[in-house]
Amino acid sequence: MLLFLAAGLPHAAILRGTVVEAQTGKALAGALVVLEPVTGTPGEPASVRTSVYGTFEFSRLAGGSYLITASRRGFAPVHYGQRRWKAAGIPITLEPAGSALISVALPRYGAISGFVLDENDVGLPEHEVVAYRATQPPQLAARAQADDRGRYRLSGLEPGKYFVRTVARQYEDAGYLPTFFKQSARVDDAQTVDVELDQETDHVDVQPAPGRLVTISGRIAPPAQANVTLVSDTGAETTLSDAAGNFQFNPAAPGPHELYAQGPSDSRTGEIQAVYQSIFADRDRIDVRLDLRPLPQVQFVFKDTTGQAVSFHSVHVMARRKDLSGAGKTQILELPSDRVQFLPGRWELLLLPATGSFVATVSIARSRGEAGHPEGWNEIALSAGLETVQAVLSATPGAVHGHVIGLRQEPVPGAPVYLEAWDPADRRRLRDLQVARADARGQYRFTDLAPGTYRLLTSFDFEPPDAPFDASGVRTLRVDEARDLAQDLQLSDTR
């Protein structure tokens, strides 16, 4: 019987390992370890939690190449073999009846700490502080509130450069304006703060400038109890109006603000009522009137290159809200019909057609004749009524394929390949990077590409998405409609 069972098993490989804390080497219990076969290696992705001793095991594996990722709450995730933060992991290769033992060390996220100080270098209690990634425009990354001594700590930060800024705050005797480290009102004059994994950058003290704050209040019409949100470049604050529709926010810094309100459904029609309004508050604004209206609608009209209608089911629509504090979370819209209701305000839309086609042209808000960007995000401002998004889809996309080759001209299974849609005139990236992994034979492929200029890079050292391509390893090429371009790539670093 034992011989029979053994004969029924293939020559299986085993992968064992441990997950530890990077700083101390202590075992991390309950860490999630994910195993993913490189395309061409038999088997399905699998996951397991580490034991109390930080150990894990994957058994009955086919021979081939695998990618390993470990993560745990409070720690930065790590890909096995990863050389830099956000760089791709290096596959581990197992023989058909072999075994391997690995260790993965998880670092903690970085942090920024310091004090919020008044004019006499005395800590200001319960003062809110925010961190922005030092991008253009800056992106809100973290918020924290100072303690009773004025000390704050911004945690959970990825490596990189940040701006630190206090939020407007009114105390009993004085008001303080938003102020960047070091003591700057404008982001152009602010000093960046470097953050690294497993490190806390301290002594980032901010002394907010005293100043007069403004009061923003008003009324919902028709009178209703509604959630009202005030947005500035330091974030958002939400309050609930009373039964008569009156609302008021905490004192805010002078400058541009955006207001959103969402009330109950209309008693006659059952439709949700909402409103968006942009204001500039250089003084107290106690007379803001927010008129609730039915939600605006966006109609999607898709056609092919011959003018024939294309089903709205064949295109995925990605949407994210855009306001003064930055871009919101991306969501995939379900299109029950060719029309979708949106909350009013500013939005960005991205169209992703089904396999075998690409967006040739797109126009947003047809009534104003505005041309869109078929390859990327498009902004649309919605207040009331109906707006139209039109797109022409082509069924003849281009493609790029090839091999990733190592230093000895050998194929490199699992090598990451990055594809960048590139505007050579403005020297800018047109949309988010596309990433592919070479399969077990070192082959990669990108499909459904719009005609245009692209740049290719394969590297285990590259850190997407914000880093620029290394000019010494990048290939620039032209993709034509209905053409499948062959392009072999030399791995731009050593393994």
Please state, rounded to an integer, the average pLDDT across all residues of the chain: 91
407 pLDDT above the threshold of 80: yes
Query: Is 126 found in the same domain as 162?
Result: yes
Q: What is the pLDDT of residues 158-175, one digit of tens each?
A: 999 999 999 999 998 889
Q: For a pLDDT cut of 70, what percent of the chain falls above it?
A: 95
The domain of 225 spans 216-294
Query: Is 387 found in the same domain as 311?
Result: yes
Distance of alpha carbon 137 from alpha carbon 325, whole angstroms = 10
302 pLDDT above the threshold of 80: yes
The pLDDT value recorded for residue 7 is: 39
- Choosing from 373, 394, 415, the residue where a domain stops is 394
**Per the domain annotation, does 4 fall within a domain?**
no
414 pLDDT above the threshold of 60: yes
| Interacting residues of 427 by C-beta distance below 8 A, sequence separation 6+ | none
The pLDDT value recorded for residue 8 is: 40
Query: Is 369 found in the same domain as 306?
Result: yes
Which region among 39-43, 322-326, 361-365, 479-483 has the lowest average model confidence (pLDDT)? 361-365
* Range 306-310 average pLDDT: 94
Q: What is the pLDDT of residues 1-21, one digit of tens each?
A: 333 333 344 579 999 999 999
* Range 449-455 average pLDDT: 94
Query: Is 326 found in the same domain as 276?
Result: no
Query: Is 402 found in the same domain as 388?
Result: no
Check the CA dihedral 231-232-235-237 and report its sign: negative
H or E element in which residue 6 lies: helix 2-7
Domain count, the chain: 5
* Range 425-438 average pLDDT: 89
Cis peptide before 182 (omega within 30 of 0): yes
**Per the domain annotation, does 20 fall within a domain?**
yes
* Range 406-434 average pLDDT: 90
**Per the domain annotation, does 171 fall within a domain?**
yes
**Per the domain annotation, does 408 fall within a domain?**
yes
The pLDDT value recorded for residue 10 is: 55
* Range 457-463 average pLDDT: 91
**Per the domain annotation, does 2 fall within a domain?**
no
Decide which of 468 and 272 is more confident.
272
Per residue in 222-236, is it b (16+ CB within 10 Å) or e — as a string? eebebebbbbbbbbe
Query: Is 123 found in the same domain as 102?
Result: no
Query: Is 271 found in the same domain as 324?
Result: no
**Per the domain annotation, does 8 fall within a domain?**
no
The pLDDT value recorded for residue 138 is: 87
- Choosing from 235, 269, 294, the residue where a domain stops is 294
Which region among 241-250, 371-380, 396-405 has the lowest average model confidence (pLDDT)? 371-380
Q: What is the CATH number of the domain that holds 27?
A: 2.60.40.1120
For residue 486, what pLDDT band results from cuts at 50, 70 and 90?
Answer: very high
Query: Is 86 found in the same domain as 129?
Result: no
Q: What is the CATH number of the domain that holds 162?
A: 2.60.40.10
| DSSP symbols for 375-398 | TS-EEEEE-SSEEEEEEEEES--E
Query: Is 167 found in the same domain as 130?
Result: yes
- Choosing from 146, 173, 201, the residue where a domain stops is 201
Query: Is 88 found in the same domain as 35?
Result: yes
Q: Give the number of C-alpha atoms closer than 13 A to the C-alpha of residue 7, restricted to the C-beta side.
A: 4
**Per the domain annotation, does 135 fall within a domain?**
yes
The pLDDT value recorded for residue 6 is: 36
**Per the domain annotation, does 5 fall within a domain?**
no
